[in-house]
Amino acid sequence: DAMVIQNPRYQVTQFGKPVTLSCSQTLNHNVMYWYQQKSSQAPKLLFHYYDKDFNNEADTPDNFQSRRPNTSFCFLDIRSPGLGDAAMYLCATSTGKRQLAKNIQYFGAGTRLSVL
């Protein structure tokens, strides 16, 4: 059974048109992450939530925002997508508790975003 679910798997949007990507988890983990992975590159962390505490990476553009309405769901909002934002977006979770976590992150299958 899928534990970290990302919807949709493929998303097409127009240049400048806001888009929202969704992630849900059944693991009851405290921490949820969003990564951007461009073609043939390593995933790059955009931000993460520890419970309701939002932590933005210093080099994440303001165009990217996130919401976490409850433990299970986290959203990635791209306010005005540019051509350079076309990528795979990965959601991941971890317990956030060192004794239990062993620092393991569990990934969703990703959403591939195309910008026309």
Partner 1 sequence: AQTVTQSQPEMSVQEAETVTLSCTYDTSESDYYLFWYKQPPSRQMILVIRQEAYKQQNATENRFSVNFQKAAKSFSLKISDSQLGDAAMYFCAYTPGDYGGSQGNLIFGKGTKLSVKP
* Residues of this chain that bind partner 1 (CB under 8 A): 4, 31, 33, 40-45, 48, 50, 55, 90, 92, 94, 96, 98, 101-110
Compute the least distance from the CB of residue 103 to partner 1, in Å.
4
Nearer to partner 1 by Cβ, of 85 and 95: the residue is 95
Q: What is the DSSP-derived secondary structure letter of residue 33?
A: E
CA dihedral 28, 92, 23, 72 (to 10 degrees): 10
Nearer to partner 1 by Cβ, of 23 and 115: the residue is 23
Nearer to partner 1 by Cβ, of 104 and 116: the residue is 104
Residue 7 CB coordination number (10 Å) = 12
